[in-house]
A and B are shown apart, each in its own frame.
Chain A
């Protein structure tokens, strides 16, 4: 990566109480349903009632997380808005498809169709913020958020003062069922806080929205710097090890996407071998698995680097930090296909 970019503001809506309050005192939310659903905030302070009535969950979560992120960064109007989503608004997509069948392709409501398009959240942010700058949504399965991040980093390197970058994903009953049929989730109910001890095929489902305001210059309020970034598609273990070793310089902590899925655990064994003795924080017991879970991992890393502490209840397996964390290596993959490495630094 040529230069660094800085996380100036951030916000997340997730299955944990991440949107409001002190996350370092927050309890751990867990489930034994193999599905971690988001804790939704009160949307009314962020979205006018007349708009809210039409929106489904992802849209509300995405828009609200974006608006809170803008507030947090202190920037009045965002510049480029760049997001990633693997599936977009599933609720709207499902409603639209069901109505096509039910009403035999006639008398279809326009709203679910309009909102089922992936770039709806971006459009809503731009409309509400009166933002006419570059606006793009990446839909690349497990690389969706990462491509949005890459686009943002390139924008900043080309001179943009800041970008609003984020990801949003939802899980529905139907989608959970479809993915269970192809073996994505564990066949028996598992307590989410014990998911790493249940090494078997499949993992637990999740969802969430996380946004970041990225800037080209650091300020005293910056959360973290992104100084390294690599994406690999279906790498061999050798190729993965080589790529990981390029990030070996001074990582004090590793945040990883380990998720108890025995089909793809061997990639995390490569990580263990490359970084013996470096403490690891797996995060999937907090948010579950989904296409853009990497955005939650980045949000978590940024929070830890800024506060220099761990949310204690979320990581009972890890002692509190005894030395400053200057650098975090983030590694995640989506069902063994899309692999991402990020280097985060303390500002």
Chain B
């Protein structure tokens, strides 16, 4: 899980071009939207695309997306839950 979260942070920084942010600046449980990284609705679409491209996971339900994209921790848990045992 720790390895996945580290990789996820790097992918988020690259996908959203967060130029002045380093992986260690992102707290696992900090909210990605509003406070925390201060992302917005377009970023949420970009993160959905990231999940689809990098992990082949398509989020169909937007309400589900809101929960998944809460933090790096929630994203990593979701990815893990979708991976074959």
Q: Looking at the complex, which one of B17, B38, B42 makes contact with A110 (CB distance below 8 Å)? A: B42
Within 8 A of B (CB), among A83-128: 103, 106-111, 114
Are A107 and B18 neighbours in the complex by a CB distance under 8 Å?
no
Are A103 and B45 neighbours in the complex by a CB distance under 8 Å?
no
Mask of B48-62 contacts with A, CB within 8 angstroms, 1/0: 010011000000000
CB-based nearest A residue for B18: A53
Chain A positions within 8 Å of B42 at CB level: 54, 110-111, 114
Taking the complex as formed, is B20 at the interface, i.e. its CB lies under 8 A from any CB of chain A?
A: yes
Taking the complex as formed, is A76 at the interface, i.e. its CB lies under 8 A from any CB of chain B?
A: no
User: CA–CA, A103 to B45, complex, Å?
Assistant: 16
Are B46 and A110 neighbours in the complex by a CB distance under 8 Å?
yes
CB-based nearest A residue for B15: A109
User: CA–CA, A254 to B19, complex, Å?
Assistant: 46
Chain B positions within 8 Å of A110 at CB level: 42, 45-46, 49
Within 8 A of B (CB), among A107-161: 107-111, 114
* Interface size of B in residues (CB-CB distance below 8 Å): 13
CB-based nearest A residue for B45: A110
CB-based nearest A residue for B51: A107
Highest count of chain B CB atoms <10 Å: which of A49, A103, A111: A111
Chain A positions within 8 Å of B49 at CB level: 107-110
Q: Looking at the complex, which one of B18, B40, B46 makes contact with A109 (CB distance below 8 Å)? A: B46
CB-based nearest B residue for A53: B17
Taking the complex as formed, is B16 at the interface, i.e. its CB lies under 8 A from any CB of chain A?
A: yes
Chain A positions within 8 Å of B40 at CB level: 50
CB-based nearest B residue for A55: B17
Q: Looking at the complex, which one of B16, B38, B46, B53 makes contact with A103 (CB distance below 8 Å)? A: B53
Interface residues on A, range: 10 to 19
Chain B positions within 8 Å of A53 at CB level: 16-19
Are A107 and B53 neighbours in the complex by a CB distance under 8 Å?
yes
Whole-angstrom distance between the Cβ of B27 and the nearest chain A Cβ: 18
Chain B positions within 8 Å of A103 at CB level: 53
User: CA–CA, A108 to B46, complex, Å?
Assistant: 9
Within 8 A of A (CB), among B1-43: 16-20, 38, 40, 42
Knowing A50-B38, A53-B16, A53-B18, the reply to whether A107 touches B45 (Cβ < 8 A) is no
User: CA–CA, A49 to B53, complex, Å?
Assistant: 26
Whole-angstrom distance between the Cβ of A107 and the nearest chain B Cβ: 4
Are B46 and A111 neighbours in the complex by a CB distance under 8 Å?
yes
Mask of A24-53 contacts with B, CB within 8 angstroms, 1/0: 000000000000000000000000011001
User: CA–CA, A109 to B42, complex, Å?
Assistant: 9
User: CA–CA, A50 to B40, complex, Å?
Assistant: 10
Mask of A49-70 contacts with B, CB within 8 angstroms, 1/0: 1100110000000000000000
Chain B positions within 8 Å of A108 at CB level: 49
Highest count of chain B CB atoms <10 Å: which of A49, A53, A103: A53
User: CA–CA, A53 to B46, complex, Å?
Assistant: 13
User: CA–CA, A54 to B43, complex, Å?
Assistant: 10
User: CA–CA, A111 to B40, complex, Å?
Assistant: 12
User: CA–CA, A103 to B16, complex, Å?
Assistant: 18
User: CA–CA, A107 to B16, complex, Å?
Assistant: 15
Nearest 10 Cβ contacts at the A-B interface: A107-B52, A53-B17, A110-B45, A107-B53, A107-B49, A109-B49, A53-B19, A109-B46, A110-B42, A50-B38
Offer 18 A-B interface pairs, CB within 8 angstroms, sorted by A: A49-B20, A50-B38, A53-B16, A54-B16, A54-B17, A54-B42, A106-B52, A107-B49, A107-B52, A107-B53, A108-B49, A109-B46, A109-B49, A110-B42, A110-B45, A111-B42, A111-B46, A114-B42
Known: A54-B17, A107-B52, A109-B49. 10 other contacts (CB 8 A): A50-B38, A53-B17, A54-B42, A103-B53, A106-B52, A107-B49, A109-B45, A110-B45, A111-B46, A114-B42
A residues at B contact (CB < 8 Å): 49-50, 53-54, 103, 106-111, 114
